[in-house]
Amino acid sequence: MPFVSAAELGVILLSLKVALWSVVVSLPLAIAAAHMLARHDFPGKSLLDAVVHLPLVLPPVVVGYFLLILFGRQGPLGVWLESWFGVVVAFRWTGAALACAVMGFPLMVRAIRLSMEAIDPKLEAAAETLGAGPLGVFATITLPLALPGIITGTLLSFARSLGEFGATITFVSNIPGETETLPLAIYALTQVPGGDAQALRLCVISIILSLAALLVSEALVRRAGRRVLGYDAVGRG
């Protein structure tokens, strides 16, 4: 008897797809937000910082409810996406990815921002004196040196997406084969008689996937850290 059934395998693959797309979509925005908060002073910076971290302190159900209002079939952004691009996110797996992206966004931004703030500004200034423009400095100095934070933030957000429940079930409901990710499947199994064994298997799988993401993050960060140290030594030399 296989460890997981075909239905459970579908739940696992859907969860991985949702988590993957959530970080793919949010990573460019997280890098931009982190760079803005780490390297620029402007009116409303504290407010932007608070808004970015709001999903960490709000109940996930509240986040899911506002996503439903904004991106539902009758919501202003939902109507715009459907009419202009033919994209529907409410009660679809794409909506689950959006909910996960929003909930994991603060973790990603925070890790990247801390990494950027640790970069010596003199290295960026040196690149500017050699003729590099703002984009050139960002691409050749800031991004490579911030790589450990980018890796950490991405994989933390990925692991957070694997465990996202409240915002997802509020925004896209629990539809088998479409939006039923691991947490939603576990919850559904705990509500039916005889579902404990299956729920326990999915819990174990969820733990394994989350641990794997954290271990991969640690290994990649160590490797990127060694490269950054070498890069920094060359720059100082």
- The number of beta carbons lying within 10 Å of the beta carbon of residue 178 is 15
* Predicted local distance difference test score (pLDDT) of residue 161: 93
Q: Which SS3 state, helix, strand or coil, does residue 125 take?
A: helix
* Predicted local distance difference test score (pLDDT) of residue 20: 95
The helix (H) or strand (E) run that includes residue 127 is: helix 121-129
Surface-to-core class of residue 15, CB atoms within 10 Å of its CB (0-12 exposed, 13-18 middle, 19+ buried): buried
* Predicted local distance difference test score (pLDDT) of residue 181: 94
98-134 burial string, b = 16+ CB within 10 Å, else e? bbbbbbbbbbbbbbbbbbbeebeeebbeebeeeebee
Query: In the predicted model, what is the mean pLDDT of the chain?
Result: 88
Tell me if 37 sits within 8 A of 106, measured CB to CB.
no
Average of per-residue pLDDT across 85-90: 86
* Predicted local distance difference test score (pLDDT) of residue 227: 64
Tell me if 91 sits within 8 A of 179, measured CB to CB.
yes
97 or 123: which carries more pLDDT confidence? 97
Tokens matching residue 161? 């997406």
Please give the Cα distance from 206 to 4 (Å, whole number): 13
131-174 pLDDT tens trace: 778 888 888 888 988 998 999 999 999 999 999 999 999 999 99
**What is the radius of gyration, based on Cα positions, of the chain?**
20
**C-alpha dist (Å) from residue 129 to 36, 136, 150:** 22, 12, 26
Does pLDDT of 106 surpass 90? Answer: yes
17-62 pLDDT tens trace: 999 999 999 999 999 999 999 988 889 899 999 999 999 999 999 9
- The number of beta carbons lying within 10 Å of the beta carbon of residue 233 is 9
Tell me if 22 sits within 8 A of 161, measured CB to CB.
yes
Tokens matching residue 16? 């991985």
- pTM for the whole structure: 0.88
